[in-house]
C-alpha cells in the first residue's frame, strides 16, 4: 500500500486498479527519466517498448501479475527484469526504482518533459546548460533568445517550445475520459459493495462525455452518510482527504485527480444529478426558462415560487429524477452529452431532439492494423475479434511504406495481403473483410502508393503523418488533393491532434469540408482516446454540411477494437445520429456513398 491513511479505525483493504494504460505511463516516465539522465539508449528503448506492449495487451497486466501460473515475460518485448518491475507496479501501485529516478531530478523539471516535440535529451540540455527547472524559466529564456544559442537548438526550436509551454502546463490538469472511466467505475464498484448505498451516480463533465476530465463528482443516496464517507476514505488510491463535512467529502487520489462525494436526500437525487452534471451554461438557460414559469431550480429540486423573497412559501414540485426536473419545466430529458448550451434547447423547442447514435448502431470498423505493419495481432486474430463483437464488415488498413518506423507496406506487400484477404473471404461467414490501406499523404502532396495499386482496394483512408508543421495552405492543399483522388474513401484523423500532447496541425477545415462534400468523401472520427479526431464541434460542423462521418477504432490490437465506444460518445456530443454515421449502414449501402464499384468487391 502506498500510504498508511486510516479512517474510522480500519486500515485500507481495497487496492486501486492499476490499468494497463497507467502502468504503461509509468514505464514511459522511466524511459524519459533515464534518457534525461543520459542512460544507455538500449535500456531506454527497452522501457519504451515495454510500455507499448503493456498498453496494447489484450488482457489486464495486473491480472497476469497476480496469477501464480502466468508470467508477464510470456509477452514478446518484456524481459525478466522488466517483468519484475511491472509485477511490482501492478500489485503494489508503486515502484522503488521509479521513485529513485524521480529523486535525482527536481520535480519541476518533469514539466519540461511534457512539452510537445522537446524530448528528454533537449530538456536535459536546457537543465544543464541554462539551469532551467521550471516552465516559467524556460519561457523567459526563449523570449530572451538564450535557447537558440545552445548547440542543437535554433530559432524554430524556441518558437516550438513557446508554443508548447502552455500545453505542458495544463497537460496533467485533465485526464482522458477513458482513464477517468476506469477510475470512476472502480470507485463506484468499491463504494457500492459497502453498506448503506441506495443510489450512486457519477455526474460532472465525466457524465457529459467530455474528452478530458478535471475531477469526478459522485452523488449518493444513503441513510448513513458517515458510513459511506468512512468507506470512501479507506479507498486505497486516496492520497489525502481534502475536506469532510456532514454530507460532502473531497479527496485527492495519488494521480492528483480530485473526487468529490455528496450524499443527497432521495427526493433531491434527480435535481442534484441534473445540477452537478451541468454544463454550467446549460443550467443557466434552464434556470431562466424555469423562472419564466414561476419556478426555481437548484440542486435540491424544482420549486414553485408562491411569493416574493419568502423561501417558506416555495413549494417543492419535483426532484427525485432528472426526468421529473425537466418535465416540470415542460422540457424533454436531454442526453447528458448534448447539455452544452449549443442547440439542445432550440431542438427541444422545435420538437427535433435528435436520437443520438448508439454503440449498437455500428455495423463495421474501417481502420485497423495488423502485424503486417505496426499492429500487435495477426490478420486472422483481428477478424476473429471483430466477429466476436458482431461486426458485419471490417477494413484492414495497414500503413503504407512512408511510415517506415511502422514497417509500412509497399504495393507488392499490399497485393500479397489483399490476396490473402480474398482467400479468407471465400470461407468467412457473417463478416466481410475489405482490402484496405492507410495511405500517407506525402509532404509534397502525392499519395504514398501508386494509383494502379489503390484502384484494387475496397477502402482507402488517407492521412498526414509527416510534415505536420507545414504552413496552413500547404497542409490543406495536401488533404484536399487526397480527397480529389478517385481511389480515396476517407481522411483519417483529419487534424492530427493528440490530446494533451500535440496540437492540431494548421488546416483549413472549411476547405476540407467543402472538398469532402464536392467529391463525396468521408471524414473519420478516430476513436483512440488520445485522438478523438474530429472533435465534437467539428463533427457538428460536418453534420451541418451533410458530410457523413465514419467512426473507426484505428485498432492496433484486438483489444483496440473496444475503443469504438469513445468515438460514439464524441459523436453524441456533436449531436450525430445513426443517419449521420456512414458505418451504421450495411456495406452495400456505404460503398455507394464513396462511388465504389460493386463489381470490384463482390
394 contacts 424 by C-beta, under 8 angstroms: no
334 contacts 326 by C-beta, under 8 angstroms: yes
Phi (first) and psi of residue 67, to 5 degrees: -95, 115
Residue found by looking up cell 452529452 in the block? 337
Three-state secondary structure call for residue 291: helix
Q: Does position 213 have pLDDT exceeding 90, yes or no?
A: yes
pLDDT more than 70, % of the chain: 93
**Binning pLDDT at 50, 70 and 90, where does residue 358 land?**
very high
- Highest mean pLDDT among 52-66, 242-256, 282-296 belongs to 282-296
Q: Kindly report which listed range (322-336, 337-351, 496-510) carries the lowest average pLDDT score.
A: 496-510
Three-state secondary structure call for residue 244: strand
pLDDT at 170: 60
Alpha carbon distance 568, 215 (integer Å): 22
Three-state secondary structure call for residue 280: helix
Q: Does position 412 have pLDDT exceeding 80, yes or no?
A: yes
List of domains in the chain:
20-170 (1.10.150.110), 175-263 (3.30.460.10), 269-349 (3.30.210.10), 359-601 (3.20.20.140)
- CA 28 from centre of chain: 18
Helix axes 177-192, 564-573, angle to 10 degrees: 100
pLDDT at 597: 31
**Binning pLDDT at 50, 70 and 90, where does residue 500 land?**
confident
**Binning pLDDT at 50, 70 and 90, where does residue 17 land?**
low
- Alpha-helix residue ranges (DSSP H) falling in 278-316: 280-292
Q: Dihedral of the CA atoms 368, 373, 377, 380 (nearest 10)?
A: 80
CA atoms within a 13 Å half-sphere pointing along the CA-CB vector of 577: 7
More confident residue, 27 or 500: 27
Alpha carbon distance 396, 437 (integer Å): 7
Alpha carbon distance 305, 275 (integer Å): 19
pLDDT at 283: 96
Read off the pLDDT of each residue in 98-127 and give the average, rounded to a whole number: 80
Q: Does position 258 have pLDDT exceeding 60, yes or no?
A: yes
Residue found by looking up cell 505511463 in the block? 25
Calculate the alpha carbon distances from 288 to 285, 295, 335, 345 in Å: 5, 9, 20, 12
399 contacts 369 by C-beta, under 8 angstroms: yes
Nearest by Cα to 167 from 120, 101, 118, 125:
118
164 contacts 494 by C-beta, under 8 angstroms: no
Alpha carbon distance 268, 441 (integer Å): 55
Beta-carbon contacts of 68 under 8 Å, excluding residues fewer than 6 positions away, are none
Calculate the alpha carbon distances from 372 to 186, 378, 409, 555 in Å: 36, 8, 8, 13
**Binning pLDDT at 50, 70 and 90, where does residue 10 land?**
very low
Q: Does position 199 have pLDDT exceeding 70, yes or no?
A: yes
Strands (E), 319-454: 364-365, 393-396, 432-440
The per-residue pLDDT for range 39-80, each reduced to its tens digit, is 888 888 889 888 888 877 767 888 888 888 888 888 888 888
pLDDT at 35: 85
pLDDT at 14: 35
Alpha carbon distance 5, 20 (integer Å): 26
Which residues face 260 on adjacent strands? Answer: 217, 250
**Binning pLDDT at 50, 70 and 90, where does residue 2 land?**
very low
Mean pLDDT score across all residues of the chain = 89
Q: Kindly report which listed range (27-41, 102-116, 393-407) carries the lowest average pLDDT score.
A: 102-116
Three-state secondary structure call for residue 552: strand
The per-residue pLDDT for range 527-558, each reduced to its tens digit, is 999 999 999 999 999 999 999 999 999 999 89
Nearest by Cα to 533 from 555, 553, 511:
553
Amino acid at each position: 500500500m502506498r500510504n498508511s491513511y486510516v479512517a474510522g479505525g480500519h486500515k485500507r483493504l481495497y487496492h486501486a486498479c492499476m490499468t494497463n494504460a497507467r502502468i504503461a505511463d509509468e514505464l514511459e516516465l522511466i524511459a524519459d527519466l533515464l534518457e534525461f539522465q543520459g542512460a544507455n539508449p538500449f535500456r531506454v528503448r527497452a522501457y519504451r517498448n515495454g510500455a507499448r506492449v503493456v498498453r496494447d495487451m489484450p488482457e489486464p497486466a495486473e491480472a497476469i501479475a497476480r496469477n501464480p501460473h502466468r508470467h508477464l515475460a510470456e509477452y514478446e518485448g518484456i524481459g525478466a527484469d522488466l517483468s519484475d518491475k511491472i509485477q511490482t507496479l501492478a500489485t503494489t501501485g508503486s515502484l522503488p526504482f521509479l521513485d529513485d529516478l524521480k529523486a535525482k531530478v527536481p520535480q519541476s523539471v518533469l514539466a519540461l518533459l511534457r512539452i510537445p516535440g522537446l524530448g528528454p535529451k533537449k530538456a536535459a540540455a536546457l537543465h544543464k546548460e541554462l539551469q532551467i527547472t521550471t516552465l516559467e524559466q524556460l519561457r523567459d529564456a526563449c523570449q530572451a533568445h538564450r535557447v537558440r544559442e545552445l548547440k542543437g537548438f535554433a530559432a524554430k526550436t524556441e518558437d516550438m517550445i513557446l508554443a508548447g509551454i502552455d500545453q505542458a502546463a495544463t497537460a496533467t490538469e485533465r485526464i482522458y475520459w477513458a482513464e477517468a472511466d476506469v477510475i470512476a467505475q472502480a470507485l463506484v464498484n468499491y463504494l457500492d459493495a459497502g453498506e448503506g448505498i441506495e443510489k450512486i451516480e457519477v455526474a460532472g463533465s465525466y457524465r457529459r462525455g467530455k474528452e478530458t476530465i478535471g475531477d469526478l463528482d459522485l452523488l449518493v443516496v444513503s441513510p448513513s452518510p458517515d458510513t459511506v464517507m468512512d468507506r470512501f476514505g479507506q479507498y486505497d488510491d486516496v492520497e489525502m482527504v481534502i475536506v469532510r463535512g456532514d454530507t460532502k467529502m473531497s479527496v485527492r487520489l495519488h494521480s492528483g485527480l480530485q473526487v468529490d462525494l455528496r450524499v443527497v436526500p432521495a427526493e433531491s437525487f434527480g435535481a442534484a444529478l441534473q445540477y452537478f452534471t451541468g454544463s454550467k451554461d446549460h443550467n443557466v438557460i434552464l434556470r431562466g426558462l424555469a423562472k419564466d414559469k414561476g419556478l426555481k431550480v437548484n440542486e435540491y429540486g424544482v420549486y414553485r415560487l408562491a411569493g416574493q423573497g419568502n423561501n417558506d412559501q416555495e413549494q417543492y414540485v419535483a426532484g427525485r429524477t432528472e426526468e421529473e426536473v425537466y418535465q416540470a419545466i415542460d422540457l424533454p430529458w436531454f442526453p447528458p452529452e448534448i447539455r452544452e448550451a449549443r442547440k439542445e434547447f432550440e431542438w427541444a423547442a422545435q420538437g427535433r431532439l435528435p436520437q443520438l447514435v448508439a454503440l449498437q448502431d455500428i455495423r463495421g470498423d474501417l481502420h485497423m492494423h495488423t502485424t503486417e505493419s505496426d499492429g500487435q495481432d495477426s490478420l486472422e486474430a483481428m477478424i476473429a475479434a471483430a466477429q466476436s463483437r458482431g461486426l458485419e464488415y471490417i477494413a484492414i488498413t495497414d500503413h503504407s511504406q512512408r511510415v517506415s518506423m511502422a514497417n509500412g507496406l509497399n504495393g507488392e506487400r499490399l497485393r500479397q495481403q489483399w490476396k490473402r484477404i480474398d482467400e479468407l473471404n471465400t470461407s468467412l461467414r457473417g463478416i466481410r473483410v475489405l482490402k484496405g490501406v492507410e495511405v500517407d499523404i506525402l509532404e509534397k502532396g502525392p499519395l504514398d502508393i501508386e494509383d494502379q495499386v489503390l484502384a484494387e482496394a475496397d477502402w482507402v483512408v488517407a492521412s498526414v503523418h509527416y510534415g505536420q508543421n507545414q504552413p496552413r495552405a500547404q497542409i490543406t492543399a495536401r488533404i484536399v488533393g487526397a480527397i480529389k483522388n478517385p481511389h480515396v474513401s476517407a481522411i483519417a484523423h483529419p487534424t492530427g491532434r493528440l490530446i494533451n500532447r500535440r496540437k492540431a496541425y494548421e488546416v483549413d477545415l472549411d476547405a476540407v469540408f467543402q472538398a469532402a462534400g464536392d467529391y463525396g468523401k468521408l471524414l473519420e472520427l478516430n476513436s483512440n482516446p488520445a485522438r478523438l479526431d474530429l472533435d465534437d464541434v467539428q463533427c457538428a460542423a460536418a453534420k451541418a454540411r451533410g458530410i457523413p462521418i465514419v467512426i473507426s477504432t484505428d485498432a492496433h490490437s484486438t483489444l483496440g477494437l473496444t475503443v469504438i465506444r469513445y468515438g460514439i460518445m464524441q459523436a453524441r456530443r456533436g449531436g450525430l445520429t445513426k443517419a449521420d454515421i456512414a458505418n451504421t449502414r450495411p456495406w452495400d449501402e456505404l460503398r455507394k456513398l464513396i462511388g465504389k464499384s460493386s463489381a470490384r468487391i463482390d
